[in-house]
Structure 1
Amino acid sequence: MPPHIPSAPATGLYDTLRLTHENEIRLMRLVPNESGDIACDIRVVSLEDRPQYIALSYTWGPSTDEDEARGVTSDPKSRMFCNNHKVLVTENFHGFLVRAAKNPSLASNEFWVDIISINQHDQEERSSQVNMMATIYSSAASVVIWLGEEDEHTEAAFDMIRLLGKCSEDSLKRITPRRLGGEEMLDILAPRGDTSSWVSVKKLFQRRYFTRAWIIQEITLAPKIDAHCGGHSVEWPNVIKVSKFLTETPWTRWMGRFHESYHAVPNLLAANKRTKITDGKNIMLYSLIRARRFRASDPRDKIYSLLGVAGDSVHGKHAFNPVYGERSAAEAYILAATQILKDSDDLLLLAHAEGEKFRNLQRPTGDANTPLPSWVPDWSAPHSLGLGVTGYTRFRAAGYLDRTLHIDEISQRLIIEGMPLDSIELFGESKDQVLKGEPFPQWYHLLSNLSEVYHTGQSRSEVFWRTLITDTSGPPTKHPALSEYGPAFFSWIERKLDTVQAIEKSSFLSTLKVQKTKDPPDGFSSPENDMLQSLGDGISVDGYETTFSHSAHLRPFLTVDGYFGIGSESLLKGDSIWIVRGSRVPLILRKVSSGDSILDEYCIVGGAYVHGFMHGEALDSGCPFKDIVIV
């Protein structure tokens, strides 16, 4: 829900439509208007009476970059009438009303829509209705997603989604970027399937709706969903199927090339819905982790937009009460992190505090130079962070040791128990830089300093490629990664080396001890196909890159004792790697001034994958654990 308030309130409209009892909401119904203006009637109803209505899920502001370029904003400037009162609403919502008025299946329904159903000038009502969002969306007969007005891509994109939704798994396996424009793909997806139709799908998933934090709750709780764009519609299960297909295959790189794409969002929301059913205790933290890529114009809504998803796990807890007035975003994040630590039995939260590169907010002290406590994730940073898997349940770096935790809520410090493993000596370019085609000479430096035979008995080339993907392949998810990913990595890195001049290719490949065994097919060096070489019946080059790209904001590192790992982009030389009781992955910590504390003080840089130490191996050293302070 946007933080700004409509600039011209409908004087008197809500005076006779007050919400005086618990569970009351306002519903609107479109009515004919002789002037040609959009008009509606509004009434107050109780959810206890089980009214039949549609809840609208949409974005206040422009739906596309093109809309923004032509001046569409989230300011209410479009006129309509509610109970004969003139009301100004956003252009995007007004566009939906115009379409709905012409669609008999929509026009005959009552709607709950935040901009009309909530008195946006009443802070108390606004907070109260936010608390009811879960009930409002789960009680609706259905939820309509409004993606905005259609453009020249919409019809083709919706046709493609319906066609892909009907495809069998065998047919989907044959639909690859490498076959783009080929006869086989055109046959499967007739009359669509050509390059222009795929471009239309890409444009659809670039719409602003898919970045909106509130859709997590609205979609997770909806009993039935239809997506509308202009005069076109499609059932949401088809969108989820297509999203999953695009996310888990080489299409994910094709979709994100040249412009950010949100094609993974429907699949992500479906995963969150499954988590709500199977792991309700951790749903708030898991939802926050998955919501990092979403945007909210009010950063507090990164928390509040998920309250309905979290349900009983946050009900009645002061830290999660939506407060828009006196509570700052930083305070909301600190309260939420504290409560999550109190409610959980592990320290998973700490692995998602990603260091200063991913921090926007300051501590609520009035000092602009005082950041949030390092252990509090800044959820306002709109990046997909971490090691690429939400719960890290495949790892147990600290074995089965229970956590020890003391929270000092006054000083906003934690005391945890950890064991130092080693410190970072060298680090390389981030995965994001490599994906963007930038040179990566430090990777060669890391590789050449890595022991030919790792302490696990594996070759340095195997340790290198496994670490870059946290030794995880899929789908379906496999840990350790399938050995077939090794040959795919070798061909992938060779192609990457072809695109940069700052590294001596032969030296890099010699250090990997790779022998070129196969020339690429004729014509395979075009920009669209430069990473799509197939390796017989094994994993393709693009298969490795797809897995590699799922967690891009990481950089590889080498420790003083020669341990190879990967962690947050924020890491620096001298940062230490710790095995922490209750943390499934090692944590990267940075020592700070001890001050008056008798314990060593550290800030968190992020979670890490360290090859050979992800399943309790460090415990065999007999090194004692000790208390440390996290500031």
Structure 2
Amino acid sequence: MSSQRLSGRSADTQQFEYNTLQGNNIRTITILPLENGVVRCTIMTVDLTSNPMYKALSYTWGDPRPKGLQTKEQAIVEFPIYIDGKTKTVTKNLYDALTRLASGVLVLEAPVWIDAICINQGDLEEKNLQVSMMDEIYKNANMVVAWLGEADGFTEAGLQAIERLASINAGLEPADHAEHQQRDIRSFGLADRQWQGLVAVFCRAWFTRVWIIQEVTLARKMNVIIGTHIVPEDIMRSAATYLARSGLWFKLTRYVLLFSRHPNDLDSNDVPPLGAVIRSLSGLDAGIRMGGFHPKLVTLFGRGNEASDERDYVYGMAGLVKLAQASHREQSEALPPPRYDADVEEVIVDWAKWMVKNMDNYMLFSHVGDETHRRLKTLPSWVPDITTSLMPNTFIYLDQHRQWHPSGEDVAGKLSPVDGSASVQTRAPLFDTVTAVATSFGVMNDEHDYDPVLELIESLRGVTEPYRESSEALACTLTAGITHSHAATTLCAILEAWVLVKADHVISTGRALLDATRRSKWSGLTLLAIRFAGHEDSS
């Protein structure tokens, strides 16, 4: 394959040039059989509104392997393909996918739409228009082909585990998953290598890419390919459903410790939390179509995933917004159209203004996160940095039935953007005043830095109404008021199990914090000012 690299091509090969697209037109390619190992294809323009037959490729532009195994060369080295006899270069992972498809690993029987080839990435005006149509492109494809990359030493064992979990899930009703949360991992009859393989498959980069959430959710039909292995859609979706609903994924993270220290094996830091893509595979589309998510809140699903262009944290969710708008009882204005010529910060501020328009609560503020975890430092303080994971997780459910009204259930504040600025304004009751702020966990160095947090709690005075005791108020504060489905004693037990750490050093325990609150009476709303922000880990 190395002979096909960019540096090895003929110097006099004519470069492929794009024509101009009009209206609802898109390009598709027909992949020809391999000829002396060379990838060849033809390209044509079709009108998307004429219901053309085509497939769409879902893949990652960079290295497809788990994060800890990726290399820069995998992401930047380009290989030539030939479109109508003219040369165009593509990344290695796409080249591998084209090679496999050209060799017949999957019979296509139709042209294919591939973003890196079918969109002129150098024409921003065309890119803006085509990205705005991305949901229609994937929704109208008769099949989405998900390319996860070439196989490795874990793939075969991992696919055996996936088939096993799919067969278990096939006989379950939705209510049965809760019972399976107590199931011991040794009861499945799978070897350690198969569990390790399962983790290795679901740690592939494809599962972390922000665009994948929309592509999977909107797909009519999907086949997953790893090397020469084809995983039918029903098998992958069923296994993902079991992982998501039984809580098994969290139990599996310890299995990476059994991986050898071979350079091509995984490290525990490479295992992501349960991601939105697995949730997509397990039926996110059904939840959206049933009106289970507010159209504006679905834009937060991509947070914590990966994107080659940070603007895609907004634009990659546009199709889900449209899907939610079609089924939700509360209609909202369209998401701002793609502008890849705008600064990332400007795109995110425009998104945040769109978020607060016509919303009757302050939920967006709880997604801002601690400043030590913000990558885009120039964003206004009220705007979440959605290019990073939310640290810490505020336990907010993205569900309109669990909205947070800190001023009381009957008093809803309303935010509105200020024209010509990056500010927002609101009219709402004054329910509390911030009088002191403790040190952020993100800048603590040792256990002594934790003392100001306890002192601040100790100094707070007030009533705990409507809470029965201060520990319940603390639980309600840290979970942003989501207590209706949990008893206060259960929440307090959860808090007692927390261990706050900095690096490898334990700072304090949740029990010590609860002991401090039980010695005083304070307002859970006031404690919002010192919400646990920026700690490195909790368990």
CA contact (8 A) 1:446 1:558 kept: no
Residues 153 and 510 of structure 1: is their aligned pair in 2 closer, same or farther, counting only changes over 3 Å? Answer: same
Mapped to 1, the partners of 2:290 and 2:121 lie a distance apart of 36
- The aligned residue for residue 585 of structure 1 is none
- The aligned residue for residue 393 of structure 1 is 401
Deviations 1:367-396 (A, max 9, x none): xxxx32222222222336443311363344
Mapped to 1, the partners of 2:499 and 2:532 lie a distance apart of 24
CA contact (8 A) 2:207 2:275 kept: no
Q: Which has the higher helix share?
A: 2
Residues 316 and 37 of structure 1: is their aligned pair in 2 closer, same or farther, counting only changes over 3 Å? Answer: farther
Residues 508 and 20 of structure 1: is their aligned pair in 2 closer, same or farther, counting only changes over 3 Å? Answer: closer
Residues 122 and 387 of structure 1: is their aligned pair in 2 closer, same or farther, counting only changes over 3 Å? Answer: same
Q: The residue matched to 1:214 in structure 2 has which SS?
A: helix
- The aligned residue for residue 288 of structure 1 is 299
CA contact (8 A) 1:241 1:267 kept: no
Residues 346 and 506 of structure 1: is their aligned pair in 2 closer, same or farther, counting only changes over 3 Å? Answer: closer
Residues 428 and 131 of structure 1: is their aligned pair in 2 closer, same or farther, counting only changes over 3 Å? Answer: same
Aligned counterpart for 1:277 among listed residues 289, 313, 335: 289
Mapped to 1, the partners of 2:82 and 2:178 lie a distance apart of 51
CA contact (8 A) 2:27 2:46 kept: yes
Q: The residue matched to 1:322 in structure 2 has which SS?
A: coil
1:34-73, aligned counterparts within 5 Å?
34-65=35-66, 69=70, 71-73=72-74
CA contact (8 A) 2:365 2:382 kept: yes
Q: The residue matched to 1:28 in structure 2 has which SS?
A: strand
Residues 275 and 397 of structure 1: is their aligned pair in 2 closer, same or farther, counting only changes over 3 Å? Answer: farther
CA contact (8 A) 2:303 2:387 kept: yes
1:286 CA drift (Å): 1.4
1:376-415, aligned counterparts within 5 Å?
376-383=383-390, 385-391=393-399, 393-394=401-402, 395-398=404-407, 399-415=409-425
1:233-312, aligned counterparts within 5 Å?
233-249=230-246, 251-256=248-253, 258-259=268-269, 260-269=271-280, 272-274=284-286, 276-279=288-291, 282-283=294-295, 285-311=296-322
1:467-616, aligned counterparts within 5 Å?
468-469=478-479, 479-482=484-487, 485=490, 489=494, 492=497, 569-570=532-533
Q: The residue matched to 1:254 in structure 2 has which SS?
A: helix
Q: The residue matched to 1:383 in structure 2 has which SS?
A: coil
- The aligned residue for residue 458 of structure 1 is 468
Query: Please, which moves more after superposition, 295-304 or 379-388?
Result: 379-388
- The aligned residue for residue 220 of structure 1 is 217
Q: Which runs of 5+ in 1 are unaligned?
A: 1-5, 187-192, 363-370, 473-477, 514-556, 573-631
Aligned counterpart for 2:346 among listed residues 318, 331, 341: 331
Query: Please, which moves more after superposition, 166-175 or 113-122?
Result: 166-175
Letter in 2 for 1:321: P
Q: Which runs of 5+ in 2 are unaligned?
A: 1-5, 255-267
Residues 158 and 177 of structure 1: is their aligned pair in 2 closer, same or farther, counting only changes over 3 Å? Answer: farther
Letter in 1 for 2:155: T
Letter in 1 for 2:276: V
1:106 CA drift (Å): 3.0
1:328 CA drift (Å): 1.0
1:72 CA drift (Å): 3.6
CA contact (8 A) 2:478 2:531 kept: no
Instruction: Confirm whether residue 229 of structure 1 aligns to residue 226 of structure 2.
Output: yes
Mapped to 1, the partners of 2:353 and 2:53 lie a distance apart of 39
- The aligned residue for residue 262 of structure 2 is none
CA contact (8 A) 2:299 2:321 kept: no
- The aligned residue for residue 87 of structure 2 is 86
Identity percentage of aligned residues? 23
CA contact (8 A) 1:210 1:262 kept: no
Instruction: Confirm whether residue 372 of structure 1 aligns to residue 379 of structure 2.
Output: yes
CA contact (8 A) 1:288 1:379 kept: no
Mapped to 2, the partners of 1:396 and 1:316 lie a distance apart of 20
1:295 CA drift (Å): 2.1
Deviations 1:317-363 (A, max 9, x none): 897221222x111111222222333354544434433353343335x
1:174-193, aligned counterparts within 5 Å?
179-180=184-185, 182=186, 184-186=187-189, 193=190
CA contact (8 A) 1:55 1:112 kept: yes
1:54 CA drift (Å): 1.2
Residues 381 and 503 of structure 1: is their aligned pair in 2 closer, same or farther, counting only changes over 3 Å? Answer: closer
**RCO (CA 8 Å, sep 6+): is it higher in 1 or 2?**
1
Mapped to 2, the partners of 1:500 and 1:277 lie a distance apart of 46
Query: Please, which moves more after superposition, 140-149 or 420-429?
Result: 420-429
1:139 CA drift (Å): 0.5
Instruction: Confirm whether residue 340 of structure 1 aligns to residue 355 of structure 2.
Output: yes
Letter in 1 for 2:132: N
CA contact (8 A) 2:58 2:212 kept: yes
Letter in 2 for 1:332: V
Q: Which has the higher strand share?
A: 1
Mapped to 2, the partners of 1:48 and 1:506 lie a distance apart of 61
Residues 559 and 271 of structure 1: is their aligned pair in 2 closer, same or farther, counting only changes over 3 Å? Answer: farther
- The aligned residue for residue 261 of structure 2 is none
CA contact (8 A) 2:33 2:103 kept: no
1:81-160, aligned counterparts within 5 Å?
81-103=82-104, 105-160=106-161
Mapped to 1, the partners of 2:239 and 2:389 lie a distance apart of 24
Instruction: Please tell me the root mean square deviation across aligned C-alpha atoms, in Å.
Output: 4.5
1:294 CA drift (Å): 1.6
Matched positions, count: 494
Letter in 1 for 2:226: C
Q: Which TM-score applies when normalising by structure 2?
A: 0.76
Mapped to 2, the partners of 1:503 and 1:68 lie a distance apart of 34
CA contact (8 A) 2:62 2:75 kept: yes
1:442 CA drift (Å): 7.5
Q: The residue matched to 1:421 in structure 2 has which SS?
A: coil
1:302 CA drift (Å): 1.3
Mapped to 1, the partners of 2:199 and 2:412 lie a distance apart of 46
Deviations 1:216-248 (A, max 9, x none): 221222111222211223234544444444345
Mapped to 2, the partners of 1:25 and 1:286 lie a distance apart of 30
Q: Which TM-score applies when normalising by structure 1?
A: 0.66
- The aligned residue for residue 29 of structure 2 is 28
